[in-house]
């Protein structure tokens, strides 16, 4: 009896071995396929870097470091410098963050502490929809609706009021065009709000309830709990979210292109038209004639990529560290 069973088993061994081998072969093929796809992500990144550097070489050789600090932008005489664009990119993003960070944190506090529970999800989704609206929609809205309204109702008033105040008149002076650095910054701040509030809210939710309860138990008000307990605990997450938003703001193209005015000068007034790296590329790339002009635009792309890489990489590192902490706590 036992012999028969053994014989039967023996007969099926080669078949099974074949099946296992086949499975193994399929396994390694599949694994290889997924590995290739993963490497493709790295290849894309490397490709972006390499192609930008190669494209920018002629401009780099021609202008050297002066490209970074020259304000000249003259396609006719082929004198190019990125300073005005870099300035515009940094200033618009910075102004956007000044508005978006406190408001984004405020929204996160609202969503985690104040909002009635049934409304939390819908309001949270509505705020996140601000990020889903394509940037070109912000652009067309800014150009046709917001800028004219702002010019007529707010800007004229501010310019008039501050006309004789020393210092402030420089920063808020000039003819009220409606479009310009300030309008671009405000629209950017609305666009990046959801990135800050979403990350901040998620981090707030990782704060152990015991900490909050202990603070409430000591008699703290809601605000004191948020400011003294929750925010310090969630600090690196909030900073990470803000950096993520900053990365977005720096590279944002269409919304800014519509409303910034595309002027290659640096002016003191934040109401004056300016330009950013991405707006310059979007406006001029297809019309650029001559290798040096194209190459200069590509070098600006390289600068933009470099700046956003640093900002986004630090955002990643902060958020990663946080994830690990949350992972080990749970």
Partner 1 sequence: MNSTLYARRKLWNGLFLMLSVMAAAFGLIWLGFILGALFYNGFAAISSKLFVQMTPPPGEDGGLANAIVGSIMMSMIAVLAGTPLGLFAGTYLAEYGRYTRLAFFVRFVNDILLSAPSIVTGLFIYEIVVVKMGHFSAWAGAASLTVIVIPVVVRTTENMLLLVPNGLREAAAALGAPQSSVIRAVTWRAARAGIVTGVLFAIARISGETAPLLFTALNNQFWSTDPNAPMASLPAVIFQFAMSPYEDWHRLAWAGALLITATVLTLSIIARVLQPKRSH
Residues within window 97-136 making contact with partner 1, judged by CB under 8 A: 102-107, 109-111, 113-115, 123, 125-130, 132-136
Which range of residues in 4-12, 39-47, 77-85, 166-174 is near partner 1 by CB under 8 A?
39-47
* Binding of residue 57 to partner 1 (CB under 8 A): no
Beta-carbon contacts of 191 under 8 Å, excluding residues fewer than 6 positions away, are 130, 131, 135, 138, 248, 249, 252, 255
* Binding of residue 45 to partner 1 (CB under 8 A): yes
Residue from 6, 17, 68, 145 in contact with partner 1 (CB under 8 A): 145
Site residues for partner 1, 62-101, by CB under 8 A, read none
* Binding of residue 40 to partner 1 (CB under 8 A): yes
Cα–Cα distances in Å, from 196 out to 109, 125, 127, 200? 12, 14, 11, 6
- What percent of the residues of the chain are helix, what percent strand, and what percent coil, each to the nearest 5? 80, 0, 20
Site string for partner 1, 198-237 (x = CB under 8 A): -----------------------xxxx-xx----------
Cα–Cα distances in Å, from 314 out to 42, 251, 318, 319? 18, 16, 6, 9
Site residues for partner 1, 7-26, by CB under 8 A, read 23-24, 26
For residue 180, give the 3-state DSSP assignment.
coil
Beta-carbon contacts of 235 under 8 Å, excluding residues fewer than 6 positions away, are none
Residue from 95, 272, 304, 318 in contact with partner 1 (CB under 8 A): 304
For residue 145, give the DSSP letter: I
Residue from 252, 271, 273, 275 in contact with partner 1 (CB under 8 A): 252
Shortest distance in whole angstroms from residue 169 CB to partner 1: 28
Which range of residues in 59-67, 169-177, 192-200, 267-275 is near partner 1 by CB under 8 A?
192-200
* Binding of residue 33 to partner 1 (CB under 8 A): yes
Comparing C-alpha atoms, which of 296, 229, 273, 305 is closest to residue 50?
305
Rg (Cα) of the chain, in Å, rounded?
Answer: 28
* Binding of residue 29 to partner 1 (CB under 8 A): yes
Both structure tokens of 288 = 């650029």
Residue from 17, 36, 163, 214 in contact with partner 1 (CB under 8 A): 36
Q: Which is nearer to partner 1, 40 or 98 (CB)?
A: 40
* DSSP class per residue in 53-104: HHHHHHHHHHHTTHHHH---EETTTTEE--HHHHHHHHHHHHHHHHHHHHHH
Q: Which is nearer to partner 1, 60 or 162 (CB)?
A: 60
Shortest distance in whole angstroms from residue 255 CB to partner 1: 10
C-alpha to C-alpha distance for 124 and 204, rounded to whole angstroms? 14
User: How many residues contact partner 1, by CB under 8 A?
Assistant: 93
End-to-end CA distance of the chain: 55
Cα–Cα distances in Å, from 78 out to 202, 277, 284? 50, 18, 14
Which range of residues in 71-79, 171-179, 231-239, 311-319 is near partner 1 by CB under 8 A?
311-319
Site residues for partner 1, 264-293, by CB under 8 A, read 278, 281-282, 285-286
Shortest distance in whole angstroms from residue 151 CB to partner 1: 16
* Binding of residue 182 to partner 1 (CB under 8 A): no
Answer for the pair 173, 162: CB distance below 8 angstroms, yes or no.
yes
Shortest distance in whole angstroms from residue 329 CB to partner 1: 11
Residue from 188, 190, 229, 318 in contact with partner 1 (CB under 8 A): 190
């Amino acid at each position: 009896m036992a012999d028969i069973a053994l014989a039967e088993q023996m007969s099926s061994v080669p078949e099974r071995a074949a099946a296992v081998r086949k499975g193994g072969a399929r396994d390694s093929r599949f694994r290889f396929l997924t590995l290739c796809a993963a490497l493709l992500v790295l290849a894309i990144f490397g490709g972006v870097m390499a192609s930008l550097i190669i494209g920018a070489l002629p401009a780099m050789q021609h202008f050297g470091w002066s490209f970074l600090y020259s304000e000249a932008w003259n396609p006719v005489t082929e004198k190019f410098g990125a300073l005005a664009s870099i300035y515009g990119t940094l200033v618009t993003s910075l102004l956007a963050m000044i508005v978006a960070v406190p408001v984004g944190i405020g929204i996160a506090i609202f969503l985690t502490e104040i909002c009635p529970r049934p409304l939390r999800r819908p309001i949270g989704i509505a705020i996140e929809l601000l990020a889903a609206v394509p940037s070109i929609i912000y652009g067309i809205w800014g150009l046709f609706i917001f800028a004219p309204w702002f010019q007529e109702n707010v800007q004229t008033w501010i310019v008039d009021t501050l006309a004789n105040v020393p210092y402030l008149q420089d920063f808020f002076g000039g003819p009220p065009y409606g479009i310009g650095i300030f309008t671009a910054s405000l629209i950017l701040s609305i666009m990046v709000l959801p990135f800050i509030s979403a990350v901040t809210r998620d981090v707030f939710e990782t704060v152990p309830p015991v900490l909050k309860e202990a603070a409430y138990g000591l008699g703290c008000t809601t605000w004191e709990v948020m400011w003294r307990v929750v925010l310090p605990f969630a600090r690196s997450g909030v900073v990470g979210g803000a950096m993520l938003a900053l990365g977005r703001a720096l590279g944002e193209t269409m919304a800014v292109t519509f409303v910034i005015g595309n002027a290659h000068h640096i002016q003191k007034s934040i109401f004056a038209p300016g330009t950013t790296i991405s707006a310059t590329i979007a406006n001029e790339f297809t019309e650029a004639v001559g290798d040096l002009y194209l190459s200069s635009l590509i070098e600006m792309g390289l600068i933009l990529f470099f700046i956003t890489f640093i900002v986004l990489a630090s955002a990643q590192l902060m958020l990663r560290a946080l994830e690990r902490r949350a992972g080990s706590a749970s």
